[in-house]
C-alpha cells in the first residue's frame, strides 16, 4: 500500500465524505480479505488506462460492488474506478 497522499475528493465543509471504500471493507464479512482492492488500493486510482481497465475487471463480481458504487456516487468522487466505473468524466 502506498503512503502517498490520496486523490482529492469532494464533500461538505466539515470534510464528511460518507463511507469510504475502507469503511465498507471493514464492515463487510471477513471474506472480503481476499478482494484485490484490499491488497492494492492504488490500482483503482491509477493514471494509465490499462491499469484502470484492469481494476474495473477485478471489480466485476465483487460482493460489495453496489455499496462501493453507491458510496462513490454519494461522495461525488471525481477520480478512480471503484465499483467497475470510470472517472466521473466518463459516467
How far is it, in rounded angstroms, from Cα 83 to Cα 61? Answer: 9
Domain assignment of residue 28, yes or no: yes
pTM for the complete prediction? 0.53
**Residue 82, all three cell numbers:** 471503484
Supply the pLDDT for residue 82. Answer: 67
Domain encompassing residue 44: 21-90
Could you tell me if residue 82 is inside a domain?
yes
Note whether residue 31 is domain-resident: yes
Q: Is residue 2 part of a domain?
A: no
4 within domain boundaries:
no
Judge whether 16 lies within some domain.
no
| Position 42 in a domain | yes
pLDDT digits (tens, 9 = 90+) for 9-49: 444 444 444 567 677 666 666 666 678 888 888 888 888 99
In a domain, 51, yes or no: yes
DSSP per-residue letters across 9-60: ----TT------HHHHHHHS-GGGGG-HHHH-GGGGG-SSHHHHHHHHHHHT
Do residues 67 and 24 make contact, with C-beta atoms less than 8 angstroms apart? Answer: yes
Summarised one tens digit per residue, pLDDT across range 1-19 is: 444 444 444 444 444 445 6
Number of domains making up the chain: 1
| Contact status, residue 52 vs residue 40, Cβ threshold 8 Å | no
Q: How far apart are the first and last CA of the chain?
A: 27
Amino acid at each position: 500500500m502506498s503512503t502517498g497522499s490520496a486523490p482529492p475528493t469532494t464533500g461538505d465543509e466539515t470534510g464528511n465524505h460518507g463511507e469510504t471504500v475502507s469503511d465498507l471493507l471493514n464492515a463487510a464479512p471477513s471474506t472480503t480479505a481476499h478482494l484485490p482492492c484490499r491488497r492494492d488500493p492504488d490500482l483503482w486510482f491509477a493514471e494509465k488506462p490499462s491499469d484502470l481497465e484492469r481494476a474495473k475487471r477485478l471489480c466485476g463480481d465483487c460482493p460489495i460492488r453496489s455499496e462501493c458504487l453507491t458510496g462513490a456516487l454519494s461522495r461525488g468522487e471525481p477520480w478512480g474506478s471503484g465499483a467497475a466505473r470510470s472517472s466521473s468524466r466518463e459516467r
